Amino acid sequence: MRFVPSLLLLAAFTAAAQTPAQQTPNATMPTATTAATAAQRDTSYIDANGTAHITRIVPVPDDLSPQAQRMLAHPEPDAAPPESLAVRRSHTDAWQLTARDAWLKLYPATITDTTLAGVPVHLVVPAKLAEATRDCVLLNVHGGGFNSDSGSYTESVPIAGMTGIRVVAVLYRLAPEHPFPAAVDDSIAVYKELLKTHKPSQIVLYGTSAGAILTGEIAVRLKQLGLPEPAALGIFSGFGDFVRAGDSRSLYSLRGLAGPLAPPDPAHSDSQYIGKTNPKDPVLSPIYADLRGLPPTLFITSGRDMLLSGTANLHRAFLNAGDDARLIVYDALPHAFWYSSTMPEALEANHAMAAFFVRQLKH
């Protein structure tokens, strides 16, 4: 596959390209008017090999909720991963517990720590099970850059509550201690255990960020093993190509655009996760696999998601393989923004996930 040169944003703003909000902490966010003014002094250019060097203001859409605008203006510091892996894991776990408690106020559930096939899992049972899908289960593979997170309550609690379906969240082995394919193997072991008590048509597999990447990998590995695929997949802000994640990864590496939750980082978590595996391995990078016959899949990403290109590219690969694949893109919002329990757009995204899962299980 031939790729065109990617966009490259300058890492540092020039004074002319800085917005008032960047120069003064309490300044208002840039509008379309300030963006137009900035365009008059734009110093962007494209070099000889096609790389774009951009110095532009990116205004916030007027139709974002106040909560979304606050998220963009003031990313939550606890969600930003520290440099030390040990500290990152501690921060992430603490932040997830805080987020869990917030979600449980909206969607009460019982959470039990147990094991399936020797793999630790969280079992999340909503306060009210939906009768029509009482025998179904949602299998969640969490995010966290492959190297942190103790189960992503932000992915399991709201979805359990909105669907009325049990969620099993896999606490797979983490990199760098356990590189690929450990997380895939653990998740498949849990899936095979669920197949002892559920039909494939009663199971949905989904994940966000690193978990979204794993979801695609697991689906390809199931096909290789000749195991039945689940009823549906949810790939939320991920990618399927460790060779090239897409232009958006360069575009949104500019400070302030990636958002409070950092996606997998090619310089750190990606290389730790890949280990010695060829990046074009069809399980590691499903875009190089035979994707024909995979289940109906919902892809979700957002305009300021570093993995926007990667999500869109994998969605297109599913379509080209003849699969039932749908894509939702939320304008202007950052990576995995649906972790928020207070932002209307996050609730909308979670409801879209839940509705898709229920439709596929009732199909």
pLDDT tens for the chain, 363 residues long, are: 333 333 323 232 222 333 333 333 333 444 444 444 444 456 777 788 877 676 656 667 777 788 777 777 766 554 445 568 888 899 889 999 999 999 999 999 999 999 999 999 999 999 999 999 999 999 999 999 999 987 789 999 999 999 999 999 999 999 999 999 999 999 999 999 999 999 999 999 999 999 999 999 999 999 999 999 999 999 999 999 999 878 887 766 554 454 555 555 554 568 899 999 999 999 999 999 999 999 999 999 999 898 999 999 999 999 999 999 999 999 989 999 999 999 999 999 999 999 999 999 986
Q: Is residue 263 part of a domain?
A: yes
Q: 208 and 131 share a domain?
A: yes
Same domain flag for 19 and 131? no
* 209 and 182, same domain (yes or no): yes
Using alpha carbons, select from 260, 256, 241 the residue that is nearest to residue 307: 241
The rounded distance, in Å, linking the Cα atoms of 314 and 325 is 10
Q: Is residue 3 part of a domain?
A: no
Asked whether the bond before 81 is cis by omega within 30 degrees of 0, the reply is: no
Burial class, 84, CB count within 10 angstroms (exposed 0-12 / middle 13-18 / buried 19+): exposed
Q: What is the largest CA-CA distance in the chain?
A: 64
Residues 47 and 182 in one domain: no
CB 165, CB 129: distance < 8 Å: yes
**Predicted TM-score (pTM) of this structure:** 0.80
Domain range holding 338? 77-362
Q: Please tell me the total count of domains within the chain.
A: 2
Q: 351 is written with which tokens?
A: 């409801």
The structure tokens listed for 343 are 């932002």
**Residues 165 and 302 occupy one common structural domain:** yes
Q: With contact defined as beta carbons under 8 Å apart, do 273 and 349 qualify?
A: no
Asked if residue 68 belongs to a domain, the reply is: no
Please answer whether residues 237 and 305 qualify as being in contact, where contact means their C-beta atoms are separated by less than 8 angstroms.
yes
Asked whether residue 224 falls in the same domain as residue 326, the answer is: yes
The candidate with the shortest Cα–Cα distance to 98, out of 289, 358, 316, 340, is 340
Tokens of 198: 């559920």
